Structure 1
Amino acid sequence: MKRESKKVVATSKRRKRSQMQLCNLPMNILCSVISKLPTKDAIRTSILSSQWRYVWCHHTNQLTFDGFMFIRRSIKFSPSYYATAKKEECNARVDAILQQHCGEGVQRIQVKYALDNKSAGHLDRWVSFAITSKTKELTLYLSDRRIRSFTMYADGSDVFPRTKGLYNFPCHLFDANNSSYLRGLQLASVYLKPPADFDGIRNLKRLSLVDVDIADDDLESFLSHCKLLEFLEIAYCGMLTAIRATHLLNKLKHLRVGVCDLLEKVEMNCCCLTTLEYIGPMVSLAFAGTSSLTNVCIKFMAIDAALDYISKGFPSTLPNVEMLYLHCIDSKRVTLPLKTPKFVHLRHLRLELVISERQDRKTDVLDYAHLLEVAPFMERLELHMWMDCPHQPYDRRTDGELRSNTPSHQHGHLKWVYITGFFGYKDQVELAFQILRSSAVLKRMRISSQAIIIHYCAAEMIEVYRERHVVDGRMVAMDLFSGTEHADIVEVVGASEIAPKLGIVH
């Protein structure tokens, strides 16, 4: 009898367990669980049973519509027909999904596949749905390929090509009341022209415009109504000649500007900006207040002298910068002023130098020892070089003795130095020795013969650089810096004798 009673108890426990299923959860909890799923997977739950049919309609976390969502295994027709049919089918399915959705409290809506103004009717309805559902973040990424919004190529070769018939973003659908919930707006490959009576998106905190056609005055007008903006990104906007914000943006903390070919100036009225990232031609950068600007990243796609720009250009107006990242194509030697600015708050300097001089090289890498005087409290120095010059690794018999400048004072804070693209040129060797002699508390200097930056014009010469420059640079560094005097500080890394099989990082 005891055994039978135990079996009965065990059977009843199993039955209770089997009754505890996901569909038995309260609807609000079930909807919360479904909202964690990707849009496609959430919709698929509708085929489980009649009880599950409409649960996904309360998916409130994020609705994402991209090309991957609509991939189907079927017979492909001709490529052109298949592409056209696919786009029309995508639009129809998005319409159907949004019509069935409850339309309440969707946190994020993303549309990420190639659309133009021919689909304006569909897109307008989707934007209206976002407004009605009180969406906080709206993304319209209407490019037919992935755009890297802040690409780090010095030659600008990855600039996204102009697309005809861009979708005209419907600013007229937004007013002070219905747009109050929107916090983030990301637009890619659209046309943006706010009407004269546009009242703005008052509570917008993040704005990203990538490959957007917008005029200078229209951008200024749009920004004037975004007084709570904290993050602004503008990239590949080919119409812009000026980025201006005459109205105070006292909440703006992060600004990104990248690869706007016609851009001539950036003028921002913002007092709390902490991070600036800029890629493009050398332009005028003017800010009403720079006291809070601590992190600066500038990559110029034009030829200039980095030392000259540090001492006379925009960085010289930044008294509180803590991290400076500067990329420059250096082709001339400059005479430094007697009084150079002191970056007393600078702790981390990353300098990328492209030196491309096939004949009569004018630059002198040893000049960059001046950085130790410019940044007396610097703790970390990164110097990444690409030397596209006639190759001649240092040889004492032919190049003579190394120049030895006695440092005027010992740098008391520099602890970590990283040099890449060390091809063994004489002035590179002299700079490394100068830093060693001038740094009183240096813990580690890492020298690599491999390059992590590369000049696009040298692409056809990659094999030559692998076989000669990288190997020669390592041999010079090993010969000069691996002795007992520097062994505890200097670490030589990079290619070995099998370097022709290795790739240059870029």
Structure 2
Amino acid sequence: MQEIWGHIHSLMSLRDAARAACVSHSFLRSWRCHPNLTFSKEALVLGWNPYRKSKSSDKESSDRVRKIDHILKNHSGIGLKVVRLELFDAANISTCYLDKWLRLAVKPGLEELELLLDYDAEYNFPCSVLLDGRANSIRLLHLTYCVFRPMAGFSCLRSLTCLSLCDVYITGDELGCLLSCSFALEELTLMSCEEIICLKIPCMLQRLNHLVVHECDNLEVVESKAPNLSIFQYTGGAVKLSLGDALRDLTITASGWNLVHYAGAKLPQIVPYLEALYIISSLAITIPVLPGKFFHLKDLAISFMVSTGSFCPDYDYFSLVSFLDACPSLETFMLSVTQDSVEHDSVLGDLSQLRQMPGHSHGSIKDVTIIGFSSAKSMVELACHILENATSLERFTLETVRYDFRCCDGYSECNPVTEDMMVEAHKALLAVERYLLEKVPSTVELNVVEPCGRCSAAENFDYKLS
């Protein structure tokens, strides 16, 4: 019976488990063996309001320090699997307490360790707590806003499958020392680790399949020799990439980098067996005919985003035809354009003929979506080209306004859209009627998503379709 009570107790959150231990002798005995110690403000501060933006008072901070210290000192260590320290006011907590808590928490059998500090913590993580076999059972390690200096000969974390470092001071060589003994690693996430210049993933990481690198500002090189790395997500500036033949899924988000041209010109040689490619860029130059081909690429998404204003008015969306040509196995294509206004030449009122590229055939494309579809002439030309040359096309979707969230999905209202974009959306609808409808084959399902009639009624704007 005691085992049943202990199991029920282990399923409770830290806060509920503590409350139960206060009123039940059965739960009190199992409290010292509770497997999940998640120390957050919600768990430790009575009446805590998650929407309060002000920092904790000194009294609240001292109360939480006392509670954490008491719980960790009195825990038996038996059965402890998860320790999560959310200390977003760590600057008010003495480092001796942090060192002490880590020494108490890291014992054989621990599987997950998370130390989440705030930006002004300036805490040196004591690597010594991971030595002498105490950390060999840890499968997940997540650190934020601290200094982490594993040295040569750092031999631990042999069971680690997931490593996440966010705003952590660690050099590429120090990370290499850590990775060299993490043979079980499957996922690696690096966010805003500014000391890393060269990221090298060694070949002994046989199980690594997912790598995320986000805004490591000084990074120049990403080189992976992990034989089974299949997913890579990158956000940042231009870097030299060497990723291996196993990569199948690549996402790149960049600013100040002609990413679409780079992807077409370089990636076929770097990742020849790529199956899914997602590109998000704020900069583009019209791309020429591509020198290589993505023979295995099935899913392609290209997003152009600007924070304010309009996307480059000289960009020729029609040039993306050469990208489609370079993907003979492509099945789904999505183009997304986010902007506050459109400065491209509109197809409406333009008396010149729409450009065509005869002889091009995209025989595998089945599903095409254009989000932020406008009356820009080159975008209309791209849409016409796809309708005329994608012989296997089944579904064609045009969203005239990009909504990050819509009222029809359960929100109180759609996210705001500028008046210029609403006017452009109605121009886009007219362009669909004039130039695209007659080109839609009977076998193709055309979906045109109009502006929300509830949140952005047409009568709120001066532009009239005529």
Q: CA deviation at 1:87?
A: 1.6
For 2:70, the equivalent position in structure 1 comes to 96
- Taking the TM superposition and a 5 Å limit, the aligned residue runs for 1:250-329 are 250-287=206-243, 290-306=244-260, 308-329=261-282
Contact 2:384 2:439 in 1 (8 A): no
Q: Of 79, 98, 103, which aligns to 1:105? A: 79
State the aligned residue count: 440
Contact 2:303 2:335 in 1 (8 A): yes
One-letter code aligned to 1:303 = W
Moved more, 354-363 or 296-305: 354-363
1:211-234 deviations in Å (ceiling 9; x for gaps)? 111123222222222222111000
For 1:470, the equivalent position in structure 2 comes to 425
For 1:367, the equivalent position in structure 2 comes to 319
Q: Of 351, 363, 379, which aligns to 1:412? A: 363
SS at match of 2:120: coil
- Does residue 1:381 correspond to 2:328, yes or no? no
Q: Of 28, 33, 44, which aligns to 1:58? A: 33
For 1:481, the equivalent position in structure 2 comes to 436
Structure 1 residues 104 and 497 mapped into 2: Cα distance closer, same or farther (>3 Å)?
closer
Contact 1:293 1:321 in 2 (8 A): yes
SS at match of 1:248: coil
Equivalent-residue separation in structure 1 for 2:32 and 2:309 (angstroms)? 63
TM-score normalised by the chain length of structure 1: 0.80
One-letter code aligned to 2:170 = I
**Rg larger in 1 or in 2?**
1
Q: CA deviation at 1:401?
A: 1.8
SS at match of 1:447: strand
For 1:398, the equivalent position in structure 2 comes to 350
SS at match of 1:177: coil
Contact 2:302 2:336 in 1 (8 A): yes
Equivalent-residue separation in structure 1 for 2:100 and 2:214 (angstroms)? 31
- Does residue 1:448 correspond to 2:399, yes or no? yes
Equivalent-residue separation in structure 1 for 2:202 and 2:56 (angstroms)? 48
Structure 1 residues 467 and 391 mapped into 2: Cα distance closer, same or farther (>3 Å)?
farther
Moved more, 271-280 or 488-497: 488-497
Q: CA deviation at 1:363?
A: 2.0
SS at match of 1:212: strand
Kindly report structure 1 stretches of 4+ aligned residues shifted beyond 6 Å. 355-360
Structure 1 residues 498 and 429 mapped into 2: Cα distance closer, same or farther (>3 Å)?
farther
Identical positions, percent? 25
Q: CA deviation at 1:400?
A: 1.8
For 1:71, the equivalent position in structure 2 comes to 45
Moved more, 419-428 or 165-174: 165-174
Contact 1:392 1:425 in 2 (8 A): yes
Structure 1 residues 359 and 296 mapped into 2: Cα distance closer, same or farther (>3 Å)?
closer
Moved more, 47-56 or 168-177: 47-56
1:385-418 deviations in Å (ceiling 9; x for gaps)? 23554254322x434221122133x322211101
- Does residue 1:29 correspond to 2:4, yes or no? yes
Q: Of 154, 171, 180, which aligns to 1:198? A: 154
Equivalent-residue separation in structure 2 for 1:327 and 1:435 (angstroms)? 21
Q: CA deviation at 1:100?
A: 2.4
For 2:461, the equivalent position in structure 1 comes to none
- Does residue 1:123 correspond to 2:98, yes or no? yes
Equivalent-residue separation in structure 2 for 1:185 and 1:496 (angstroms)? 44
Contact 2:313 2:344 in 1 (8 A): no
1:254-312 deviations in Å (ceiling 9; x for gaps)? 1000011222111222111011000111111123xx22111111111223151x21222
Equivalent-residue separation in structure 1 for 2:230 and 2:284 (angstroms)? 31
- Does residue 1:142 correspond to 2:117, yes or no? yes
Q: CA deviation at 1:467?
A: 3.0
1:17-51 deviations in Å (ceiling 9; x for gaps)? xxxxxxxxx11111111111111101100222444
Q: CA deviation at 1:53?
A: 2.7
Structure 1 residues 440 and 34 mapped into 2: Cα distance closer, same or farther (>3 Å)?
same
Structure 1 residues 177 and 305 mapped into 2: Cα distance closer, same or farther (>3 Å)?
closer
One-letter code aligned to 2:112 = E
Equivalent-residue separation in structure 2 for 1:326 and 1:358 (angstroms)? 19
Equivalent-residue separation in structure 2 for 1:429 and 1:437 (angstroms)? 12
For 1:8, the equivalent position in structure 2 comes to none
SS at match of 1:139: strand
SS at match of 1:436: helix
For 1:432, the equivalent position in structure 2 comes to 383
Contact 2:136 2:159 in 1 (8 A): yes
One-letter code aligned to 2:300 = L
One-letter code aligned to 2:319 = D
CA RMSD of aligned residues (A): 2.8
Structure 1 residues 377 and 135 mapped into 2: Cα distance closer, same or farther (>3 Å)?
same
Q: CA deviation at 1:314?
A: 3.4
Equivalent-residue separation in structure 2 for 1:210 and 1:136 (angstroms)? 20
